[in-house]
A and B are shown apart, each in its own frame.
Chain A
């Protein structure tokens, strides 16, 4: 596959992922991960969040596939008060670069996720790195690592949505 075609197919996948999140089709989003897939949000304020080890330093989120499912289960309940009623979000991703080596695709892009709820609009921004696997069902996520640029959760206060 040419580099351009590879990037286009990866971007199509990332756009589909963003759409599932924005439409709160979270159980389907969770299915995008392979059984040993991980969803990570690196700590704020690190010099090199892309290489930080979630077993050694405190991440904002360090979910294995089981925890991803539990997070989704929780967020779909009315008892997840921080997201009830659900916020509206727009997950944007651009400046995507893609490389493929040893059967794994590594994609990185700039992202901005806008969230609005209760008359407030807030932005989560940074860079997101996906490790993708080719499977019989198409591309699947082995690791999604979100590296936020913000220094502190202000004005957001918390991070309950999935980035």
Chain B
């Protein structure tokens, strides 16, 4: 049966949306095909707002980090006036990588090849061998470092967009913006990236990690060893059985699941393994949140756990600690992942220790769960590539009249994932350009 006879909702022709049979499936070509990989770069990674970094990573004028975003090498820096900037990390002379360090602080960026020198605003200050160029050589700024077309910041989360005509960041974030605020509001001092982030490359299509990041129901099967560990840690509760929550699309392909899971967090849910000394401190933090934000929002911040996805490739896990991940495709079969964790600036050392300890049990590539996710990506990709045809099923919890970009269902369902795939489908199919 061809897709066209089932439903015309798919714009890419790669998503089967069958409202009669409550079936939502993705053609596995989407995970293995070279042409799809190129279309993703030309549409999704060239039209969406992409997370670049957190303002705390470059606190002072002159600070910089370099990273690769959507296939482009970027310098993310702070200028002399203290504002964040983003430039393509390629010399305007012959294209050589100008800045070869991963992070640091500087007054100028000097290309190693012919010694062209750029200031913190990307302006060409010196060409090394000046003879032979006409007067007014760079009068129009053609030889400055090229700025990334758009750079906007929401609550210290900095994003870039390679399309100059793109809608603004806040419009793009839609209902996901409030979830970022829930993170930013956890500290009156502001949040900061804690040293020790990690990057990795793994087998599998990048979209497998996105699906995995807010798929709650793989936990009890894939992560049985983690839940057995957690049950023991919190004193014999069956943690997998006590979760309650919802999953929802947040518009523009963003989505979240939110649940009760008593795994403890420094802001602000005490559990016995944290020790009696930490208890009054954590309770005081909670009381302050209630005072500032009201009982309901304070409960959401302190007592509930969230996995948030901002389309296309940003994951914010607001649970054991706060971790932020991006994933980019290197090829259809391989992804690169960057992971940072956030904590309040000037955090009490007791809390910082709890936060790091909590994080390390689960979320990292050396924890008790993530290595098994990475194994699952490799296994899925083998099936995508080494089994003929095939469809990935994302139907769980679907309803016939579902608004796919804003659907809401149980957190153990896949409403949030269908929202992501609908936005992917619209962008790949050319039905959405995200332009103003």
Interface residues of A (CB under 8 A from B): 41, 43-46, 54-62, 67, 70-71, 73-74, 77, 79-83, 118, 151-160
Contacts and interface: CB of A to CB of B under 8 A. Distances in A.
Q: Which of B225, B229, B353 has the most CB of A within 10 A?
A: B225
Contacts of A60: 198, 364-366
Contacts of B370: 158
Contacts of B368: 70-71, 74
A57 B361 CA distance: 15
Q: Which of B201, B356, B375 has the most CB of A within 10 A?
A: B375
Given A43-B195, A157-B365, A77 B225 contact: yes
A158 B202 contact: yes
B336 interface: yes
B198 A152 contact: yes
Given A157-B365, A158-B365, A57 B195 contact: yes
Given A60-B198, A74-B225, A152-B199, A55 B372 contact: no
A157 B356 contact: no
Contacts of A157: 200-203, 365, 374, 378
Nearest to B353: A55
A58 B376 contact: no
Contact of B200 (A58, A73, A152): A152
A153 B356 contact: no
Given A58-B194, A74-B225, A154 B200 contact: yes
B366 A158 contact: yes
Nearest to B273: A66
Contacts of A74: 225-226, 228-229, 368
A64 to B, nearest CB: 9
A83 B375 CA distance: 9
Given A59-B356, A153-B365, A157-B202, A79 B224 contact: yes
B390 interface: no
A36 to B, nearest CB: 16
Contacts of A57: 194-196, 356
Nearest to B359: A58
A154 B353 contact: no
Q: Which of B201, B202, B371 has the most CB of A within 10 A?
A: B371
B196 A43 contact: yes
Given A45-B102, A152-B200, A157-B201, A82 B364 contact: no
23 contacts: A56-B349, A56-B352, A57-B195, A58-B194, A58-B196, A58-B359, A58-B360, A60-B364, A62-B360, A70-B232, A74-B228, A82-B372, A82-B374, A151-B102, A151-B199, A154-B201, A154-B336, A155-B201, A156-B200, A157-B203, A158-B200, A158-B370, A160-B366
A10 B349 CA distance: 35
Interface in B171-200: 194-200
B222 interface: yes
A159 B201 contact: no
Interface string B333-346: 00010000100000
B224 A158 contact: no
Contacts of B393: none
A154 B328 CA distance: 14
Nearest to B199: A152
B178 to A, nearest CB: 27
A126 to B, nearest CB: 14
Contacts of B372: 80-82
Of all A-B residue pairs in the complex, the 9 with the closest CB atoms, nearest first, are A58-B196, A82-B371, A154-B201, A153-B200, A157-B202, A43-B196, A160-B371, A152-B199, A158-B371
A54 B374 contact: no
Contacts of A73: 229
A81 B372 CA distance: 5
Contacts of A151: 102, 199
B126 interface: no
A70 B225 CA distance: 10
Given A80-B225, A81-B376, A82-B372, A55 B352 contact: yes
Contacts of A154: 199-201, 336
B403 interface: no
B34 interface: no
A90 to B, nearest CB: 20
Nearest to A159: B366
B201 A153 contact: yes
Contacts of B353: 55
Contacts of B435: none
Contacts of B359: 58
B416 to A, nearest CB: 24
Contact of A152 (B194, B201, B376): B201
Nearest to A77: B225
Interface string B386-400: 000000000000000
Nearest to B203: A157
B357 interface: yes
Contacts of A58: 194-198, 341, 356, 359-360, 364
Interface in B203-253: 203, 222, 224-226, 228-229, 232
Interface in B311-354: 336, 341, 349, 352-353
Nearest to B233: A70
Given A60-B366, A71-B368, A43 B198 contact: yes
Contact of B356 (A54, A71, A83): A54
A55 B374 CA distance: 27
Contacts of A152: 198-201
